[in-house]
Structure 1
Amino acid sequence: MIKDKLESTTKMAGEIREKIKELSEDLESLNQLQHKTFAEYFQSLGLKFEESELKDFFKKPYILLPKAKQEWYCIVPAFINFQVGYFDRREGSYNIYIINKYSRWMNDIPEFMLEEIELDEPDKIYVANGELRFEENLLEKVRTKFGHRIKDLQKDKAKIKQGHEFELIAELIDEGNLPFIPKPIEEEDFREPILNFTTIGKYSFQEDVYKEFLKKGAVGVYWMTGAGKSFLAMKSLDSLDYDSKTKRKFLVTPTSTLVDQWKIYFEKYAPRLLEEVDILTYQSYHKIVENIKQGKKYICGVFDECDRLPADTFSRFATIDMKYRLGLSATPYREDGRTNYIFALTGYPFGLDWKSLIQILEKKLHPINIYILKSEQDKIKKITELLDLNKKTLIFSDSISVGKQISNKFNIPHIHGTTKKRLEVLEDNKVSVVSRVMDYGVSIKDLRHIIEVNFLFGSRKQQVQRTGRLLHSLSKNSRHDILFTTNEFNNYKKRLFGLMEKGFKLNFFNEATKDKIKVQEEDVRPLREIKMPEKKKEEFVPEPTTSIQHGNVDYETFLKNDTVQKLIKEAVSETAQKKLLKGALALIFQKKRPVSYEEIRKSLGLTGTTNMPSVVRYLEKYELVKKIKEGGTHKIDFNIEGINEIVELSKQREKSQGLIDDLFGEGK
């Protein structure tokens, strides 16, 4: 018996070796064919094909260029299947990504690139139990940058002023630090979870982060839609003891639709939680406050779709006294620039790139078809062509009036903000037209088709979330159709960049022309011819001295500096608070001293609260101002001492943009 098995195994091993040999020969033939194809193509362009250069290119098929302080562009040919960081835009046949500290935290930067960009190591500054703790060598940095939020400063710690903890954490994160100290789940708070699902096997990545939650007590989970964030939250919540007075739990979510869905999840997968968890919308903050006033205490809070929190609501939820917390989002970035708020509210970030999760979960990205049409009425006609009333379908329309028109034409329900029992309506009908109340979190297991008729301008986040409804589905052969008018496509096509970043294949159909011809992605984008730079004789040119002596710079000299003026224009162009920003700069120059937020408001004739911190952030981004504290009052002043750093950062940005312009022929 053993002899027969040995002979059989030996025979099988021989056959495997033969197959490997055949495969190697096939791969070699393919390499030779590719080499020949490349060579012939280059010859057709009148260029010499250098095989060694091509090999070097594939060793490093990207360019890294500085964008700002601790931020880089990564430029990659579009034919390379490579994603990193945040997809910014496409220029011709090149994809341009942005990488920074958030990319590192989200595991979106490969190790070999981390070594190349040399992101600053975070300072060892932490927030715990109402204190800011830090290493002694960071005392002056803490005093300068965060002095307005602390008191009783000592050599390695300080007390945090009441009401300042959340903003302090957000500012630390903005500086590149993760200021959290692990707070493991205490033995008296833990219980064995009782669940109707598993987090083992291909879901072991969920189990890994669950264990991290037990170790750290505060985590943010940023996986793609359909990857099981809800299951991780249920296991985490069910692992915590419950007492109606001293160990309550809450879960907040953006819409009443998701409140209903969480109740369905709890009933099906974690029945104990139905009675234990207060499920609320973000607008119901007052209910939690009322419970606290009655002497009730919370052990844990879960923030679902935490990127959706209104900016002023973040700090309110952050003030709730709870031992443990968990944040969930598939799109952990904010289009108002306050991404740091997401991390400040939730805790240690854990993410996996979409490509890895697609492989782990054995999913397949559905096709996305882009139809470019002449008018809004052409969209209605196109729905008629695309719609199959026998397939589970969502038709998205942000416009209520357009939604009603579609509802009446096809005799289908219209689900929007005032619709009651939305999930029941979805369940009972094959096809529904829906507003943006269905953008986030909704899981429809038999969904086959999405048609987008109307949308929120250029929002990438909304675009990714909407297509994510299909990733929740168990149906095969699903698809997503997006309808643009020509004007919409020209103005809002950037909403598609998020899909490209995630690896979706986009098929474009330009039906605004007389002949309805399928066009390639690059044909509907403004192409720029790649400029082949002429070889120039290298000459040594000494680097001009740009250092400016601080003693020679006053308020007027600072403001007249060419670099400073250019950066002020950039800051003004980025913010919606242009009047406030200009007023702040004008008052500093007029007074020739630090000025308070209140002085700025009065100088502009403004009353009540204004968003000064937001304006100051734009100025700080370009190192134009510094924040100081005088006599307990927050003030800002020109960053005169930092003028050399301002000039140097501007030079880096100009150099990067110059290289991009050379590559894409911007100067033509």
Structure 2
Amino acid sequence: MTEELLARWREAQDKLKQAKEALDDFQQFVVKFQEEQAKIAEKLQFPSVAGLDHEAFKQFLNQPYLLMPRRQDSWYVVVPKFVDMQLGWLEWTTPSYNVFVINKYVRWMAPLPHEIEERLGPTPTTQAKVVDGLLKVSAGMEEQAWQRYRKYLYKRDQFGIRIKRGYERHLLSSLIQDGYLPFTPRPVDEEDLNPPPVGFEPLPHQKEALDLWFRWGAVGVYWPGGMGKTYLGAAICAMIKGKKLVVVPNITEKEQWQVYLRKFNARDVQLETYSAWHKVQGKDYVLIIYDECHRLPAPVWSRFATVESKYRLGFSATPYREDGREDLIIALTGYPVGLSWEHFLQAKAIRKPRIICKVVSTDREKLSVLEDLLKIPMKTLIFVELIASGEKIARHFNFPFVYGNTKDRLDVINKNLVTVVSRVGDEGISIKDLERTIEVEFLGGSRRQETQRAYRLLHSVKPEISHTVIMTVNELDQFGRRFLALEEKGFKVEYVT
């Protein structure tokens, strides 16, 4: 025992030494940054700008953004475009400024400047969570919770505060907006674990997410496409004993998951789409994985979040919702990981495809532009919104068309140089030799769809990749906000007439 304690003491000393060294390095970096900041403020001169207040400019360098109220518990952050700052959701952009929207739960998604954290106020020190139709809160908070969330509640008893039937999702949303994480952290029990599967070699970001999942038992992973979310999920399925459920949006993604589940020889896994509620209702699982979990807050799909499970995981590269229910993505999956992509971009782990918006006058011109683009042969997905449009393009160019009724969708795509796809290709398709995506039709101003379609290219290993959206002038005016989610992540859009 003495030797073990001594070994632990030495290990702790080594870690303390490393921490001190890291802190010293960081302090030196801060000093250097402040020195450089002062030099810039002193050297910058704008002789063409009359009446420039240099002292005010120094203050601007310390806080290069404007925080403005938007509505209750929500703010705009206005940032000059030359300042590399990504906060919350990009709402709109001007030639000079980016305008982001933040609220209290954004702090769980990515780090925020200290000044903004202070304005958002402290995170709650008490606990509030939804369990089996009950709202359970910290001792002494019962009356406050009853009054604040009364419209979702109907009774108090010895077990807790009972929630009105069908109002759990609304209560979860309110708790999140008030700063609570209403899921119960549960470290993964070693007795529930098998050894890691043969061939599972996690990269550093995957190891980080795995460690957080071991710690919390409920994690949402929001890496860019191609960073190995399905790979990690299938490996975890192999590592967990007992019944597992993986929920995916469509058959195409079922095919994708089957490949990885076979790779790791994962057993006792039930793989279903979000339309198969009748197959899971009333069942219990050790683990549930919600793929493309941005779908989960939808009124129809959110009932999957009520399925009993000991642990859970959510995967998505696009945690956006046009109905404003992003908070529920966190509430229904777990501790958020990987929403800030800055380190992926800095490490060049993901490439930025060339993104082009080709603007035409009329819908008729779209087919001509498409024909010109296809003169350069390369592995391509052509996205449409309407089945009739997909069939028309497929007939015109003699290409296969993949849609809801297509069997073996991945095989069709892999075997053909060019494939026309409906919405079934928006999510979960990983085509390693994909070189180009072209959107001829799209779902209005949906930012989530735009990012999902462009992110198909992030799975590719090809050196040159491009995403082209063919839009009429009217479509650009009405639906140009589709590109905001791409610009928010640092992707530039070229507009070509």
| TM-score clears 0.5 | yes
Contact 1:227 1:361 in 2 (8 A): no
Which residues of 2 match residues 134-213 of structure 1 at below 5 A?
134-147=137-150, 148-149=152-153, 151-153=155-157, 157-158=160-161, 165=168, 167-199=170-202, 203-213=203-213
Superposition pairs for residues 441-520 of structure 1, below 5 Å?
Answer: 441-510=428-497
- Aligned CA distance change for structure 1 residues 389 and 424 (closer, same or farther; 3 Å): farther
Q: Identify the residue that residue 237 of structure 1 maps to in structure 2.
A: 237
Measured against aligned partners, the alpha-carbon deviations of 1:118-167 in whole angstroms (never above 9, x if no partner) come to 3553642234566533233422211213345364446x944567766555
- Contact 1:314–1:341 at 8 Å: present in 2 too? no
The equivalent of 1:218 in structure 2 is 218
SS in 2 for 1:480: strand
CA distance in 1, matches of 2:225, 2:96: 28
Deviations 1:59-102 (A, max 9, x none): 22111112122211100112222211110011342111011123
Distance in 1 between residues matched to 2:83 and 2:418, nearest whole Å: 38
Match runs of 1:260-339 below 5 Å: 260-268=255-263, 270-271=264-265, 273=266, 275-289=267-281, 292=282, 297-309=284-296, 311-339=298-326
SS in 2 for 1:476: coil
Tell me the CA shift for residue 462 of structure 1: 0.5
Quick check: 1:222–1:350 contact (8 Å CA) kept in 2?
Answer: yes
Q: Deviations over 1:405-461 (max 9, x none)?
A: 322222211111211111011010011111111111111111111111111011111
| SS of alignment partner, residue 311 of structure 1 | coil
Match of 1:245 in 2: none
1: CA distance, partners of 2:300 / 2:236:
24
Q: For residues 362 and 403 of structure 1, what CA distance do their matches in structure 2 show?
A: 34
Picking from 350, 373, 388, the partner of 2:360 is: 373
- Please say which of residues 165-174 and 416-425 is displaced more in the overlay: 165-174
C-alpha offsets along residues 193-248 of structure 1, whole Å, 9 cap, x if unaligned?
2142311xxx2222122122122222222222222222231232222113xxxxx1
Give me the CA root mean square deviation.
Answer: 2.7
Q: Distance in 1 between matches of 2:48 and 2:387?
A: 52
2-side partners of 1:406 and 1:40: how far apart?
A: 58
- Structure 1, residues 450-488: CA drift from partner, whole Å, max 9, x if none? 111111011111111111101111111111111110111
| Residue identity opposite 2:195 in structure 1 | E
Moved more, 214-223 or 300-309: 214-223
Which letter does structure 1 place at the counterpart of 2:391? Answer: K
Question: Per the alignment, do residues 65 and 466 of structure 1 end up closer, same or farther by CA in structure 2, a change over 3 Å counting?
Answer: same
Structure 2: gaps (5+ residues):
1-31
- Note closer, same or farther for the CA distance 1:179–1:450 as it changes in structure 2 (3 Å cut): same
Cα distance in 2 for residues equivalent to 1:453 and 1:40: 49
Deviations 1:358-403 (A, max 9, x none): 2245322122111111111211111122225531111111122222
8 Å CA contact retained: 1:389, 1:431: no
**1:399 and 2:386 correspond:** yes
Q: Distance in 1 between matches of 2:179 and 2:485?
A: 24
Q: Distance in 1 between matches of 2:322 and 2:494?
A: 26
SS of residue in 1 equivalent to 2:100: strand
Alignment of 1:598-617 (within 5 A): none
Query: Is the contact between residue 167 and residue 315 of structure 1 (CA under 8 Å) also seen in structure 2?
Result: no
Decide whether aligned partners of structure 1 residues 409 and 119 sit closer, same or farther in structure 2, where only a CA change above 3 A counts: farther
Separation (CA, whole Å) in 2 of partners of 1:318 and 1:449: 36
Question: How far apart, in 2, do the equivalents of 1:500 and 1:140 lie?
Answer: 45
Residue 114 (structure 1) aligned with residue 121 (structure 2): no
> What letter corresponds to residue 143 of structure 1 in structure 2?
W
Give the match's secondary structure for 2:300: helix
SS of 1:132 mapped into structure 2: strand
Which of 356, 374, 390 is equivalent to 2:377?
390
Q: Secondary structure at the residue paired with 2:186?
A: coil
User: When you count helix as a share of all residues, which structure comes out higher?
Assistant: 1
| Deviation of 1:498 (Å) | 0.9
Instruction: Please report how far the alpha carbon of residue 50 of structure 1 lies from its aligned counterpart in structure 2 after TM superposition.
Output: 4.0
Instruction: Please give the secondary structure, in 2, of the residue aligned with 1:96.
Output: strand
Q: Distance in 2 between matches of 1:350 and 1:146?
A: 29
Query: Which residue does 1:662 correspond to in 2?
Result: none
CA deviation digits over 1:581-633, x for unaligned, max 9? xxxxxxxxxxxxxxxxxxxxxxxxxxxxxxxxxxxxxxxxxxxxxxxxxxxxx
- Where 1:39 maps in the other structure, the secondary structure is coil
Please tell me the residue identity of whatever aligns with 2:235. Answer: K
1:59 and 2:67 aligned: no
Q: Which runs of 5+ in 1 are unaligned?
A: 1-23, 243-247, 511-668
The farther-off stretch of 179-188 and 489-498 is: 179-188
For 2:404, the equivalent position in structure 1 comes to: 417
Counterpart Cα distance in 2 of 1:236 and 1:355: 26
**What letter is aligned with 2:192?**
D
Letter of the 1:475 partner, please give it: K
Letter in 2 for 1:225: G
User: Is 1:250–2:242 an aligned residue pair?
Assistant: no
Determine the C-alpha separation between the residues in 2 that align with 1:185 and 1:164.
29
**Secondary structure of the structure 2 residue equivalent to 1:136:** coil
Q: Match of 2:153, as an amino acid?
A: R
**Structure 2 CA distance for partners of 1:360 and 1:121, relative to 1, 3 Å:** farther
| Alpha-carbon distance in 2 for matches of 1:57, 1:205 | 35
CA contact (8 A) 2:219 2:335 kept: yes
Match of 1:103 among 87, 106, 113: 106
Partner of 2:351: 364
Deviation of the 1:176 alpha carbon: 2.4
CA distance in 2, matches of 1:373, 1:130: 53
**Aligned pair in 2 of structure 1 residues 111, 446: CA closer, same or farther (>3 Å)?**
farther
Counterpart secondary structure, 1:225: coil
- 1:250–1:298 Cα contact (<8 Å) kept: yes
The one-letter code of the counterpart of 1:494 is: R
Q: CA deviation at 1:506?
A: 1.3
Identity of aligned residues (%): 38
Question: Is the Cα contact below 8 Å between 1:414 and 1:433 reproduced in 2?
Answer: yes
CA distance in 2, matches of 1:233, 1:283: 21
Residue 356 of structure 1: how far off its partner (Å)? 2.1
Aligned partners of 1:131, 1:285: CA distance in 2, in Å? Answer: 23
* Equivalent residues of 2:104, 2:120 under 8 A apart: no
1:83, 1:163 → 2: CA distance?
36
